[in-house]
Amino acid sequence: MLKQQIENYARYTVWANGKATDFLLASGSEALHKEQASSFSTLEKTAYHIYDAEYVWIKRIKGEPWTWPPSANLKVNSFEEFCSVWKSISEELLAFTLSLTETDLQKFVSYKNSKGEPFNTTIADCLMHCFNHSTYHRGQIITMLRGAGFTKVTSTDYITFTRVSEVLQ
């Protein structure tokens, strides 16, 4: 049951990130760079943060090295190209999630947070945090889009995903 739920959230993250990138690309450059009061001051910075966090969590879980922020090492020439990279890390997260067994999900991962503090957390909890974190910041993206005058957004809620997804039927 846990494996199925984690897989569904990974699929949801790919779907919702795809919708978010579509909205961001349609909003235009002015909206992407408009300064707003939020966790990150622009839509573009918020999108990069989601990418960075997804990248870091998959690396932490796999025990692979990474540097903060991962996006500083990206060689992209446009926001559109960045969105493609963001989608690919979400798809990598899904593929990784699908490769895990129920037993794997219960294993503990040792890692350090951004302050260098050590933690041990189950893979399932790391993944759920990652998916929830992305959802939180996608919600900010929707609010910021509206604040920038872009109102052509539709729901990115998990329940909407379950209603439109053939995978879950």
Q: Is the pLDDT of residue 38 over 70?
A: yes
Confidence (pLDDT) at 69: 94
Provide the whole-model pTM. 0.95
Domains for the chain: give ranges and CATH numbers: 2-164 (1.20.120.450)
For residue range 50-98, what is the model confidence (pLDDT) as tens digits? Answer: 999 999 999 999 999 999 999 999 999 999 999 999 999 999 999 999 9
Confidence (pLDDT) at 56: 97
Long-range contacts of range 26-29, CB-CB < 8 Å, 24 or more positions apart?
26/150, 26/152, 27/145, 27/148, 27/150, 28/150, 29/79
Strands annotated E in 17-140: 108-112, 118-122
